[in-house]
Amino acid sequence: MQPLGATLIQDACSFRVWAPHASHVAVLLQEGERWEHEVTPVRCSLTRDSSGYWNGEVPGVGPGRLYRYEIETNGHTFQRLDPAGRDMLHSQLTKDYPDSENASIVTSRDYLWSAFTTPAAKDLNIFQFHCGSFAGRGDGIDKAVAGFADVETKLPYIADLGFSAIELLPVQEFAMERSWGYNPAAFFAIESAYGHPDELRRFVDSSHQAGLAVIFDVVYNHAGPGDNLLWRYDGFHNESDLSCGGIYFEGGRMTDWGRGPAWWKEEVREYFFQNACMYFDEYNADGLRFDVTTQIDGQHLSEVMLRLRERYPDKHFIAEHLPAHPWITTYGNFGATWLAKSHHEAQRVLNGQDPLGKVKSFLGWDGFDSPWNLVKYPLGSHDDVGDDHNGNAKEGLTNWDARHRYMVDQLGGRDNWHSRAKCRLAWALAATMPGIPMMFMGGECHMGAPNVAWGYWHDGPDINGDHRFDWQLAGDEIGTEMRRLVTAANALRDHHSALRSETLIITHEDYHNNVIAFKRWADNSLVLTIANFSDNNFGDYSYGVSTDCQNGRWSQVLCTQDAQFGGWHGSGNAFHQPTTQPDGNIYINLPKWSVVAFELMP
């Protein structure tokens, strides 16, 4: 299939757009920084093929040229931006604002990339963040909406924490300038408030130079309810069904956000296939995360995914398929899916609700072929932390279990010692259990409030204040202690192949004291992880942990209650190397609300 959009070829530009109901299509071209209605544009007619695509080559067109499509359907002539345009001046669309000065922009896709190898799934450790709110507060940048250049300055911060990959909330053009990104207005264009294509390329390249793989979040299950470039694109709509939306939405399934794309059409599947390819071919991506795959027809989605997996066999394809089901990583052709219960059940575990039973529900990879089929995020994703209803999403003010908050606020606030200890435990568990760990920005520094009133993330202010990432909190004593813990836990996972293996044995279950232990191994690496979900402190090396008859001498490699992380001196086993006793146990100090990990010494 020929590429959609405007593609530079030698001394010309090729244009291709789908408009099957049009009787005539022309590309209009102008020079300048905005579309001038009083200036007569260069008009070049395109030729229709048998599939309803309009094509043409225009000589002398280079990067930066502004363009629109002029479409005639049923005697009506109107202008549209390019559905596959790689850049546009802003998000105000011509179909809703006829006097708009907006236009698509011809772009060059050339870039000299630094060498980088996409890490294997077992080596992924993901830091998820929102571009617009990850900079600009408490860092001297002082911007309401941060861009790619601003967050590029934060890459050393992420790399120093020991993450191997970043995942950005959607960066395609959305309505207005402030959004989480899940209201796409133009799927191929980069959000103009964040920057332009070359700035995104430079950001990806800088990420790779910092050792960070880049995963983009894509939204193919719905479009923005307001600004939506595809809606009734070529003028066609069904008079008896005003919600049909025209060629890109006709017969699409109804989603929670309105009419979804018409995935049953080959042309629509091709559109999203080419969009996915764009991130790899033009932005050197390492993976894609697909939003809400349960609201896309599974058979049609799997067909597109098969093409993508064949074309990019070393790249990562992650679904938000909730509730998680093995179909998505088998017949669905994805490599992994989010495991939402790794957060929701973790929240209940840390609240003392059946800790062992619930932690066992997300500890392994039951039903899936591999632990790397699951992305686990005990401290929450953007959905779990974010709230755009002034702190009351899903009636969260009255329903603790459904409340959207940073975990530290769910458990008592960042000024609460026990709350911080439980969050340290949660991330250490993420780093040591099977699966791909993921953290949303702010979890690494106990982002939140002194109380539960407003400790949630949002991309701007509401009646409870400004909820963007606060760099002053990241650097205070409480934030620094948690960052030390996250760095240590990530280093532990990185340095021990056992924690990146497809192994797991639960060696110890103490329901009376709410303690569980599990071991993992690979090559010459074996790590035993013990989690204490209780207020019980065990000192004097009095707690016996079963090793599953694993003989040898053990050395502590992590204790989440160490003083440097916010615990206390002498809480762990720094100078104690226990040996497996005849009863199969090692005897250790086990502090309250902690993870303690040991390696088997050679």
- Tens of pLDDT, residue by residue over 265-291, are 999 999 999 999 999 999 999 999 999
pLDDT for 146 beyond 70:
yes
Sequence-separated (6 or more) residues with CB below 8 Å from residue 235: 21, 22, 71, 73, 74, 76, 78, 246
Count Cβ atoms within 10 A of the Cβ of residue 532 and give its class: 0-12 exposed, 13-18 middle, 19 or more buried: buried
| Residues 421, 594 contacting (CB under 8 angstroms) | yes
Sequence-separated (6 or more) residues with CB below 8 Å from residue 523: 497
- Tens of pLDDT, residue by residue over 468-510, are 999 999 999 999 999 999 999 999 999 999 999 999 999 999 9
pLDDT for 225 beyond 90:
no
Average pLDDT over residues 333-357: 98
Assigned token pair, 365: 């990879």
pLDDT score recorded for residue 258: 82
pLDDT for 239 beyond 90:
no
pLDDT for 379 beyond 60:
yes
Distance CA 534, CA 514 (A): 6
Distance CA 381, CA 173 (A): 22
Distance CA 163, CA 212 (A): 7
**Can you list the alpha helix ranges (DSSP code H) found in 153-224?**
155-160, 197-209
pLDDT score recorded for residue 410: 94
Nearest in space to 181 (alpha carbons), one of 145, 231, 153, 154: 145
| Residues 590, 516 contacting (CB under 8 angstroms) | no
As separate numbers, helices (DSSP H) first and strands (DSSP E) second, the chain gives 12, 30
Q: What percent of the chain has pLDDT over 90?
A: 89
- CA torsion sign for 327, 329, 331, 333 is positive
DSSP reduced 3-state for 482: helix
Sequence-separated (6 or more) residues with CB below 8 Å from residue 507: 517, 518, 519, 528, 545, 546, 547, 548, 550
Lookup result for tokens 């300038």: 177
pLDDT for 382 beyond 80:
yes
pLDDT score recorded for residue 448: 85
Q: Which DSSP letter does residue 216 get?
A: E
Give the 3-state secondary structure of 538-579. EEEEEEEEECCCCCCEEEEEEECCCHHHCCCCCCCCCCCCCE
β-pairing, 42-45 vs 47-48, is unpaired
Orientation of helix 266-281 relative to helix 298-311, angle to 10°: 30
Mean pLDDT, the chain, integer: 95
pLDDT score recorded for residue 378: 98
pLDDT score recorded for residue 452: 43
Task: Work out the number of other CB atoms within 10 angstroms of the CB of residue 234.
Answer: 24
Distance CA 390, CA 388 (A): 6
Q: Residue 579 CA to chain centroid, in angstroms?
A: 42
Neighbouring C-alpha atoms within 13 Å toward the C-beta of 216? 25
pLDDT for 36 beyond 70:
yes
- Tens of pLDDT, residue by residue over 184-224, are 999 999 999 999 999 999 999 999 999 999 999 999 999 87
- Tens of pLDDT, residue by residue over 86-139, are 999 988 877 767 778 999 999 999 999 999 999 999 999 999 999 999 999 999
pLDDT score recorded for residue 407: 96
Question: What is the pLDDT confidence band of residue 411, given thresholds at 50, 70 and 90?
Answer: very high
- Tens of pLDDT, residue by residue over 424-464, are 999 999 999 999 999 999 999 999 876 445 799 999 999 99
Tell me the sheet residues that pair with 16.
Answer: 5, 55
pLDDT score recorded for residue 175: 87
CA end-to-end span of the chain = 57
Sequence-separated (6 or more) residues with CB below 8 Å from residue 38: none
pLDDT score recorded for residue 255: 86
| Residues 515, 531 contacting (CB under 8 angstroms) | yes
Q: Mind listing the domains of the chain with CATH numbers?
A: 5-105 (2.60.40.10), 124-228+266-499 (3.20.20.80), 504-600 (2.60.40.1180)
pLDDT score recorded for residue 498: 98
pLDDT score recorded for residue 354: 97
Q: At 408, which helix (H) or strand (E)?
A: helix 407-410
| Residues, the chain | 602
| Residues 165, 127 contacting (CB under 8 angstroms) | yes
Distance CA 226, CA 95 (A): 11
pLDDT score recorded for residue 306: 98
pLDDT score recorded for residue 185: 93
Omega within 30 of 0 (cis) for the link into 326: no
β-pairing, 374-376 vs 336-338, is parallel
